[in-house]
Amino acid sequence: MRISRLYLPVPMETGAEIVLDEERAHYLRTVLRLKRGFELTVFNGAGGEFAAWIGACHREEVSLTVGEYRPIDRESRLDVHLGLGISRGERMDLAIQKAVELGVGAITPLFTERCVVQLDAERKAQRLEHWRRVVWAACEQSGRNRVPEVLEPQDMDAWLPSPAGLRVFLDPYASLSLRKLAPVGEEAVTLLSGPEGGFSDAERDAAVAASFIPVRLGPRVLRTETAALAALAAIQTLWGDLAA
Beta bridge partners of 6: 42
Count of C-beta atoms within a 10 Å radius of residue 134: 19
Q: Using pLDDT thresholds of 50, 70 and 90, give the confidence band for residue 244.
A: low
Q: What is the pLDDT of residue 185?
A: 61
- 138-149 residues labelled b (16+ CB within 10 A) or e (exposed): bbbeeebbbbbe
Last residue of a domain, one of 43, 70, 97: 70
Last residue of a domain, one of 23, 48, 70: 70
Question: Do residues 46 and 87 share a domain?
Answer: no
Decide: 170 and 194 in contact? Cβ < 8 Å. Answer: yes
Decide: 17 and 55 in contact? Cβ < 8 Å. Answer: yes
DSSP class of 48: S
Query: Mean pLDDT across the stretch 56-77?
Result: 89
Question: Do residues 23 and 86 share a domain?
Answer: no
Decide: 10 and 18 in contact? Cβ < 8 Å. Answer: yes
d(CA 235, CA 205): 23
Q: What is the pLDDT of residue 55?
A: 85
Q: What is the domain extent for residue 50?
A: 5-70
Last residue of a domain, one of 70, 95, 110: 70
Q: Using pLDDT thresholds of 50, 70 and 90, give the confidence band for residue 32.
A: confident
Question: Do residues 109 and 186 share a domain?
Answer: yes
CA 5 vs. chain centroid, Å, equals 17
Question: Do residues 132 and 196 share a domain?
Answer: yes
Number of structural domains in the chain: 2
Question: Do residues 126 and 177 share a domain?
Answer: yes
Question: Do residues 55 and 122 share a domain?
Answer: no
Question: Do residues 174 and 204 share a domain?
Answer: yes
